[in-house]
Chain A
């Protein structure tokens, strides 16, 4: 094979076009100085479609086939077949950002419906149509807090259970804005409100907490966190996800000013961390929101129509004064999450969330029966996941479990973290048996 199978012009076309342009060879169209021309090779052999697919498969098949009991920010739920079937329609997946709304009403409506879902779940007035993931959404929330706060301030407080990964992203994004990120203490897997009260000050621009937390616990002190933030004129940013939010305390009711999180819990299989950053906030901060917003308007015939709106916040217009540098986002993942949520409906979302409360409770109880295991570590309610203490070194237990075909987190020397959802619950009994076997 020579040439790209996806370059349409035929040989005859090419000749005719070269002729029309007035050159003998396509090389003449490249206005590149001789001194920087590349005359080497990449050394990549062209392949048939079949062979290329086989080559990808050959590599990936070297992954071990494990049943994952992993979470800590990336979760799997059963994704209904409708999601793949509809999201793969080429009118959706091969389209660009909706710069010409008159011919992209379909995607705009999908994104409007996604925004509406998040407005319903958070109770906040505005949700954008996506950030990259929870970590970057959290970072953007801190930047928004810094921008909207009347008084000067430079501290962002995050609980100590937040993943180091996320804090690193947060620090990178806020590094250019003279913001420092500090961790505050927790107590038995929840915010320690006394400690938080001690470290609060008028130089704090944002306080972050999660529900459920990275540890899987349901946070019981959200009202207190909201009040503390309020007392110091700081924004309260809450991390959650659309499934959990369908039963847990409504963010607006606990005083959340911004909600971030990962909505890729809906619509996506595990995908090595691919996210869908939730960003919702109060209407008063609308003009400081990062990323794209879809709004309703009317067309010339007076019919309701959707369009990207308030674009003067964005980089392509405002350049260095934009609210964010984000351009390409996660729109297609939002489409998938929206389809999944619609497929579940209100009842289905609530049922799934309730299941995610019961499954870890039951699994923790089963593991707690095993001599040498204490679960859950935190005396709290949980969603999806929990921590378990092991007398034996946790990394060794995790490694032995891997030999038995299971993946879990070893979060420190004697602590495992275990995530159980509708997607792996069928293997929970085998998992318990495997834990028993490797420990006893």
Chain B
């Protein structure tokens, strides 16, 4: 079977590459400015092309790029679901295009949407308060680390300098804890792919600040012992942090707050279908329990009525002078705020898209998205020839390419016109193929995807190693790229 569609990737083979802008034109301009010469540069050299040429340049480049709208994208843990178009219109509303230093009085609409999104996220995660400021999931993790630190310090326990992270966790967990100055204590997973309670108990102690956990974990498995885990962490005086990367599996069926988590981040791309944009922008709102709310980043949005006498805002003006009983919104500094994690308020347009998505789907739609994501993963798994050692899994599973090289399997799948799964991670499974079809595939779409997996499963190593053959670029030499870094067109000649 061959599903390759040339239109999907653009023309294949040599000599069809789109030239760099710099190869089309380089214009050197002598800088002539109203400023004195000693405050200016001499010249600037950049491509100068007319709009028709640019339109073709970027359209051709887009044709050499694979997105969710191009076909299946079962990239495990990255959750590539459909991005509803109307949310783009929501984010592009003229009233969304405002400056962050506008007065609170003049931005009641923006603040109302933020307050409502905070409220929605709180209900969905089972959390008491939510900040929208972190500009991505990893920034959310770092915010969580700052919150944990502030909490322990406020309790006279500033000596806690360790964060416990399971070996199968996302790399960002380790890096975010380290950025906060914490020592990372890595614990091995049990044979069943879940947290090993003995290992956890051994790792916890008087220096534990927090445990960072993903649930379902990166293998798609629900941490069944989550209540025991929470008890152990809390008994040791630590906090439980929820990495929200896989919350998209649980909507309406379980909430981190109910499981004993104290802090969590939401990945709005993975859970609420905001587009990933080829690497971002994202947004990583953070939810906390009531006792951590006073530490949240500055400023925070809250609903007020005229009778409220809110603390003075750090921003220009006081709450809108509403009529008696009328609601308004204000920005304020939480009492023991950790300060700022972004220069302004994070990636606002992304938050608008997330709000519109949640508001459209409602309770039923959100629960259905999770149900179909889990059903699709289970159905796809059922069709595969590859072994899946660990389960029962939810929205994603990790198959093993066993005696094939998982990276080669991925390259070969490209030849069948589908995006491959995440490979070689988590390392708990040999030659891992971490697969997450999401709720956006139909049954026949999943059947086609399974055909692609199974066709590759039956092929020999040589075929795999020489793949891909039908893509814009053939296999790219990674070693040469790293050994001889050429990172701009200035390095090319």
Q: Given contacts A60-B96, A301-B14, is CB(A328)–CB(B281) below 8 Å?
A: yes
- Contact mask for chain A residues 274-287; partner B; CB cutoff 8 A; 1 contact, 0 none: 11000000000010
Given A296-B481, A320-B175 in contact, is the A42-B363 Cβ separation under 8 Å? yes
* A59 interface neighbour in B51, B109, B181, B278, Cβ under 8 Å: B109
B112 → A minimal CB distance (Å)? 5
Q: Are A61 and B490 in contact (CB under 8 A)?
A: no
Say yes or no for A329: interface residue by CB 8 A criterion: yes
Q: Which of A87-95, A198-206, A364-372 contacts B (4 or more CB under 8 A)?
A: A87-95
Question: For residues 252 through 277 of chain B, which have their beta carbon under 8 Å from a beta carbon of chain A?
Answer: 252-255, 258-259, 269, 273, 275-277
Instruction: Assess the A9–B375 pair: CB atoms within 8 A.
Output: yes
The answer for the CA separation of A104 and B28 in the assembled complex, in Å, is 31
Which positions 477-491 of chain B face chain A at CB distance < 8 Å? Answer: 477-478, 480-482, 485-491
Would A92 and B62 be within 8 Å (CB), given that A120-B45, A133-B344, A303-B14 are in contact?
yes
Contacts of A55 in B (CB 8 A): 356, 359
Is there a chain A Cβ closer than 8 Å to B287's Cβ? no
Instruction: Tell me if A183 counts as interface (CB < 8 A to partner B).
Output: no
The answer, yes or no, to whether B81 is at the interface (CB within 8 Å) is yes
Q: Which residues of the other chain, A, contact B110 by a CB distance below 8 angstroms? A: 60, 63, 272
Q: Are A328 and B181 closer than 8 Å at their CB atoms?
A: no
B172, A89: Cβ atoms closer than 8 Å: no
Contact of B65 among A105, A135, A315 (CB under 8 A): A105
A22 vs B68: C-alpha distance when bound (angstroms): 29
Q: Are B67 and A93 in contact (CB under 8 A)?
A: yes
Cβ-neighbour of A102 out of B69, B348, B468 (below 8 A): B468
User: Are B481 and A119 touching (Cβ within 8 A)?
Assistant: no
- Report the minimal beta-carbon distance from A116 to chain B, rounded to whole angstroms: 4
User: Which residues from B are CB-within-8-Å of A175?
Assistant: 146, 180-181
Listed stretches A151-159, A164-172, A430-438; interface member = A164-172
Across the interface, do B343 and A169 meet the contact criterion of CB distance under 8 Å? Answer: yes
Q: Which residues on B sit within 8 Å (CB–CB) of A44? A: 120, 123, 358-359, 361-363, 366
Task: Specify which of A92, A119, A168, A345 is in contact with B278 (CB 8 Å cutoff).
Answer: A92
B289 to chain A, nearest CB (A): 16
Kindly list chain B residues whose C-beta atoms are within 8 Å of the C-beta of A106: 10, 18, 60-65, 472
- Which B residues are in CB contact (< 8 Å) with A207? none
> Is there a chain B Cβ closer than 8 Å to A426's Cβ?
no
- CB-based contact B31/A295 at 8 Å: no
Among B331-361, those with CB < 8 Å from A are 338-350, 352, 355-356, 358-361
**Chain B CB within 10 Å, residue with most, of A10, A56, A97:** A56
Q: Are A172 and B476 in contact (CB under 8 A)?
A: no
Give the CA-CA distance A120 to B442 in the complex, in Å.
47
Q: Which residues of B contact A52 (CB under 8 A)?
A: 86, 90, 356, 359-360
Q: Is A132 a contact partner of B65 (Cβ separation < 8 A)?
A: no
- Min C-beta distance of B177 to chain A, whole Å: 7
Does any Cβ of B come within 8 Å of A66's Cβ? yes
A309 touches B481 (CB 8 A): yes
- Give the size of the chain A interface in residues (CB under 8 angstroms): 193
Q: Nearest chain B CB to A156's CB is how many angstroms away?
A: 15
Determine the residue in chain B with the shortest Cβ distance to A173.
B179
* A368 to B63 Cα, complex, angstroms: 54
Q: Find residues 1-27 in chain B having any chain A CB closer than 8 Å to their own CB.
A: 9-10, 13-15, 17-18, 20-22, 27
- Proximity bits, B409-424, A CB within 8 Å = 1, else 0: 0110010000110100
Q: Does B402 contact A (CB under 8 A)?
A: no
In the assembled complex, the Cα of A117 lies from the Cα of B46 at a distance in Å of 7
Do residues B376 and A121 form an inter-chain contact, with CB atoms below 8 A?
no
Q: Does B399 contact A (CB under 8 A)?
A: no
Question: Which of B101, B138, B379 is in CB contact (< 8 Å) with A21?
Answer: B379
Q: Is the CB of A68 within 8 A of B65?
A: no
Complex interface bits, A246-276 against B, C-beta within 8 A gives 1, otherwise 0: 1111100100000000100000011111110
CB pair B17–A47 under 8 Å, yes or no, is no
Within 8 A of B (CB), among A115-153: 115-117, 119-121, 125-127, 129-130, 132-136
In whole angstroms, what is the CA distance A297 to B250 when docked? 42
Q: A247-B41, A271-B349, A328-B276 are in contact. Are A301 and B442 (CB under 8 A)?
A: no
Interchain nearest-CB distance for B25 vs A (Å): 8
Stretch in B70-78, B234-242, B456-464 with 4+ CB within 8 Å of A = B70-78
Tell me whether A293 and B68 are in contact (CB under 8 A): no
Q: Which of A53, A171, A381 has the most CB of B within 10 A?
A: A53
Across the two chains, which residue of chain B brings its CB closest to A89? B62
